[in-house]
Amino acid sequence: MLIPKANCMRIVSCALLICFTCLKPAMAQLKDTLFFYNSNVLIGELRAIKLGRADFDADGVGLVKIKNKEIKTIHAQSNEFRVETTNGAFLQGYLRPAGKDGRVTVYSLSDTQEIEVADIIRLSKYGRTWKNGLSGNVSTGYTYTKSSEIGRLNFDGSVRYVSPRAEIKLGVSTIWTSDSIEVSREREDVVFDYSYLFKNSWTIGLTLRYQRNLELGLERRLQEGIGIGHRVLVRTNQQGSLVSGLAINQELNLEGVSSKNTELVLQANYELFSFDGPNLSISVTQTGYFSVTEKGRARYDGNANLNWELISDFNLNLQFYHNYDSKSPETGEPNVDYGFVVGIGYKFD
């Protein structure tokens, strides 16, 4: 029996209306919820948890930052999450309230595990779109003195992408100076890191790097490295890790002479966050390079960063760097470079 065209249109319209009506509650359930010990509730989107603090985009309020110890439990299904805990575990899935206060259940199709909210040291979102895994920050500063007619511009930025088991990070750091005659690119550092994370706090990674440092006599260094790392310190407000590996360098000095060398790499990383008074974060990276192809050559790169959060997502950035090369690419003699830069930064995720 044939159905008239008009009736077909009515049936299709009714079907679409029923589907939309059924889907609407499900869509509403994608909102995340934070439950507090004081009986308050926030509804919106859970963006991240890091170093003892949750970043939450609350409906009608905007971005708020809440200490983990104030959270009774969490219901979050707007995104899929990767959760890292103080015991070194890596969990993946959605968050649902647990049976006891201060606890949450990480739920996935393959596994379900109940953990303490206070034990979450990092929570990163990923899943529905590739943009959900992105976060980063940018910082810039400029100084100028009329007496010398010299200006100095510094720029620092990083972008981080998180997937269930991997992290990709791109970092950029530059210092340019200008006078009445020319602009000079004094110092440049661009690094691409890929790391794969295991459940027992071990990582394996790949690094691609470009460096330029006129003070050390380096026109250009291209570096490819591979390494293995272990997180040796895990707390809600601080983390520390050690990394070792090998790096292959292609160098060009200021006179246009190129060379190649292979190095053993040893690196220590430390990060601390304090909520007492102003929100301060400190990150320190110290890296030693020991050549296995150039006898007696050793290099050192050190960076220390202090970020003071002025208002939400905006911070004052103070950076100290120190570089040493026992055999400068230009002169073959020991050389040192160090400096201090100040900038205003913005964090996004």
Do 141 and 121 share a structural domain? Answer: no
Digit-coded pLDDT (tens) for 248-271:
999 999 999 999 999 999 999 999
Secondary structure of residue 9 in the 3-state scheme: helix
Instruction: Note the pLDDT of residue 28.
Output: 41
Burial class (CB in 10 A: 0-12, 13-18, 19+), 289: buried
* Cβ atoms within 10 Å, residue 124: 24
Instruction: Note the pLDDT of residue 18.
Output: 46
Digit-coded pLDDT (tens) for 152-195:
999 999 998 887 788 899 999 999 998 878 889 999 999 999 99
Do 165 and 87 share a structural domain? Answer: no
Cα distance between residue 41 and residue 125, in whole Å = 21
Do 155 and 273 share a structural domain? Answer: yes
Mean pLDDT in residue range 331-342: 92
Q: Has residue 220 been placed in a domain?
A: yes
Instruction: Note the pLDDT of residue 154.
Output: 94
> Which residue among 98, 128, 158 closes a domain?
128
Mean pLDDT in residue range 97-115: 88
Q: Has residue 13 been placed in a domain?
A: no
Do 158 and 68 share a structural domain? Answer: no
Digit-coded pLDDT (tens) for 296-306:
999 999 999 99
- In the structure encoding, which two tokens stand for residue 297, read together? 């050559």
Domain at 220, CATH number: 2.40.160.40
Instruction: Note the pLDDT of residue 293.
Output: 95
Q: Has residue 176 been placed in a domain?
A: yes
Do 121 and 201 share a structural domain? Answer: no
Q: Has residue 50 been placed in a domain?
A: yes
Do 153 and 117 share a structural domain? Answer: no
Please state the domain count of the chain.
Answer: 2
> Which residue among 82, 111, 128 closes a domain?
128
Digit-coded pLDDT (tens) for 10-50:
554 445 444 444 444 444 447 899 999 999 999 999 988 88
Q: Has residue 175 been placed in a domain?
A: yes
Mean pLDDT in residue range 217-237: 92
Percent of the chain at pLDDT above 70?
87
Q: What are phi and psi of 60, to 5 degrees?
A: 75, -5
Do 256 and 183 share a structural domain? Answer: yes
Instruction: Note the pLDDT of residue 243.
Output: 97
Do 263 and 185 share a structural domain? Answer: yes
CA 329 vs CA 216, 258, 298: distances in Å: 7, 9, 12
Residue holding tokens 């899935």? 93
Q: Has residue 55 been placed in a domain?
A: yes
Do 214 and 256 share a structural domain? Answer: yes
Cα distance between residue 338 and residue 216, in whole Å = 10
H or E stretch covering 251: strand 238-253
The answer to whether 81 and 61 are in contact (CB under 8 A) is: no
- In the structure encoding, which two tokens stand for residue 259, read together? 């060379």
pLDDT band at 128 (very low <50, low <70, confident <90, very high): low
Q: Has residue 15 been placed in a domain?
A: no
Do 150 and 238 share a structural domain? Answer: yes
Rounded to the nearest 10°, the torsion over CA 202, 65, 103, 41 is -150
The answer to whether 148 and 154 are in contact (CB under 8 A) is: no
Do 124 and 182 share a structural domain? Answer: no
Give me the domain span that covers residue 240: 133-348
The answer to whether 74 and 117 are in contact (CB under 8 A) is: yes
Instruction: Note the pLDDT of residue 3.
Output: 47
Q: Has residue 16 been placed in a domain?
A: no
Percent of the chain at pLDDT above 90?
52
CA 74 to mean position of chain CA atoms: 23
Digit-coded pLDDT (tens) for 48-87:
888 778 889 899 888 888 888 899 999 999 888 888 888 8
Instruction: Note the pLDDT of residue 55.
Output: 87
> Which residue among 95, 128, 161 closes a domain?
128
Question: Does 246 score more than 80 pLDDT?
Answer: yes
Do 166 and 255 share a structural domain? Answer: yes
